[in-house]
């Protein structure tokens, strides 16, 4: 029976990558420039449909997610490094 942290390490790194991508998209959406104003000559003929208002994404949550992603990446990398170290010591013992 093989016991290895490689699969778990890769899963943690993949999760951290997804979290970083989501946070970057949130920051990008929150930082986007307002659209260019159009000609308002026909403004009187406009019908307004109001959608439910969504809360604006906060930069604090996105930055927290980026920080957490960085920590997860370090943990996953550390898991892979420890696994490689253990394989090296086992090889040294058996030779």
What pLDDT is stored for residue 94 in this prediction?
58
Question: Quick count: other Cβ atoms within 10 Å of Cβ 78?
Answer: 13
The closest alpha carbon to 2, from 90, 72, 73, 78, belongs to 90
Across the range 20-31, mean pLDDT stands at 85
Q: How does pLDDT run across 29-60, given as a tens digit for each residue?
A: 877 666 667 777 777 777 777 777 766 656 78
Count of beta carbons in the 10 Å neighbourhood of residue 73: 18
pLDDT digits (tens, 9 = 90+) for 56-89: 656 788 888 999 999 999 999 998 888 888 877 7
Q: pTM score, two decimals?
A: 0.60
């Amino acid at each position: 029976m093989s016991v290895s942290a490689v699969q778990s390490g890769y899963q943690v790194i993949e999760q951290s990558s997804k979290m970083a991508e989501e946070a970057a998209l949130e920051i990008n959406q929150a930082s986007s420039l307002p659209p260019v104003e159009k000609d308002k000559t026909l403004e009187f003929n406009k019908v307004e449909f109001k959608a439910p208002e969504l809360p604006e994404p906060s930069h604090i949550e996105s930055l927290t997610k980026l920080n957490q992603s960085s920590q997860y990446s370090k943990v996953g990398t550390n898991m892979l490094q420890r696994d490689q170290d253990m394989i090296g010591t086992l090889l040294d013992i058996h030779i």
